[in-house]
Amino acid sequence: MHMRLAGLAMAVLAGSVPAWPQTGPLKTVDQVLEKYQRALGGVDAIRKVRSETRHGQVEATGLPGKVAFVSYAKPFKTLQKVTLADNREILSGFDGQISWSVTPQGASIDKATAVEAVRRDADLQYPLHQPDYFQKLEFAGVTEFENRRCYWLHGATHWGKDNNQFYDVETGLLAGYRFQSDESSSASITTAVFQDYKSFGGPLVATKVISRTGDRTQTVTYTSVSYEPLADSLFDLPPAVQALLK
């Protein structure tokens, strides 16, 4: 997830073999995903991410100005805090089982989205596990996506949603998605574009993500990413959400 290849090994010793041999066009799902993992910085770099904190801003259709946020994550647990222009706060998260939100209007539990879809989005090592979330994932060839030549993977998730992934042919990095909404009652299509990859001491991160659904557009810009350990208690359900379970 500046488009440049990360993790390029230098031939330190004379006659050493480069880590990225040029083998021609890729033709399988495994080849595309393996190149993506290398482009991010390698399997070991991805596995080392056990906690993550991101700060950034959101711009969206109908939203006045930019909105600041911070997101926290551990494997299969998330917490997001959005600060509105009037300093009110919106919280949302996933504790491994329950997806919830607390807005100025009150607390709610998401019952419309498949839990496995939420777990996928909370998978800090998703680039290593992608096929696990699909009942079918196939190599669909090379195509143009957002004016970039990309390898196209097409699949259907375990919860029955169409999902397309596009990986830049030159860099191997994820260029974007085109997918059906994960909400069970919705068939809307979202296009997500990943740009401006940077390193913050771990795998490369797409610092700009543009999502379009119908006539609505959202742009998320990450300004910092850190990997300091986070306490499990940070992801406990808020009292207002716990009250809904009683």
Beta bridge partners of 190: 179, 213
Below-50 pLDDT ranges, the chain: 1-22
29-245 in CATH: which number?
2.50.20.10
Model-level pTM?
A: 0.87
| Predicted local distance difference test score (pLDDT) of residue 63 | 81
Task: Decide if 141 contacts 153 (C-beta within 8 A).
Answer: no
| Predicted local distance difference test score (pLDDT) of residue 157 | 97
Q: Say whether 47 sits in a helix, a strand or coil.
A: helix
Which tokens belong to 34? 């393996």
| Predicted local distance difference test score (pLDDT) of residue 44 | 98
| Predicted local distance difference test score (pLDDT) of residue 12 | 27
- Residue 196: half-sphere exposure toward Cβ, Cα within 13 Å: 10
| Predicted local distance difference test score (pLDDT) of residue 187 | 85
Q: Say whether 234 sits in a helix, a strand or coil.
A: helix
Long-range CB contact pairs, 134-138, < 8 A, 24+: 134/158, 134/163, 137/29, 138/29
Which tokens belong to 177? 């998605």
User: What counts of helices (H) and strands (E) characterise the chain?
Assistant: 5, 13
Q: Residue ranges per domain, the chain?
A: 29-245
∠ CA 72-77-81, rounded to 5°:
35
Residue 22 CB coordination number (10 Å): 5
